[in-house]
């Protein structure tokens, strides 16, 4: 099972995408992490909105990485 993509809108509201899965950078390519490889976000962590940056996710239906 793969974790869903977590993202934010321009106002900083954070939400889980209902369809797309999380992708991670691995050198010059992308991977789809498993739940087993995830760690709990430590209390007090800060999440950032990064305008003008491409967001990459895994689309299970198309079996391909997509930019959002």
Which pTM value belongs to this model?
Answer: 0.83
The reported pLDDT for the residue numbered 1 is 79
Which of 56, 21, 52 is CA-nearest to residue 38? Answer: 21
Q: In what order do the strands lie in the sheet with 14-22?
A: 4-8, 14-22, 56-59, 64-67
The reported pLDDT for the residue numbered 51 is 86
- Give per-residue pLDDT as tens, 3-53: 999 998 888 899 999 999 999 999 999 999 988 999 999 999 988 888 888
The reported pLDDT for the residue numbered 50 is 86
The reported pLDDT for the residue numbered 59 is 97
């Amino acid at each position: 099972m793969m974790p869903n993509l977590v993202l934010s809108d321009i106002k900083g509201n954070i939400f889980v995408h209902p369809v797309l899965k999380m992708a991670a950078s691995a050198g010059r390519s992308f991977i789809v992490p498993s739940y087993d490889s995830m760690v709990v976000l430590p209390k007090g962590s800060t999440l950032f909105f990064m305008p003008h940056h491409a967001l990459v996710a895994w689309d299970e239906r198309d079996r391909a990485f997509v930019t959002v």
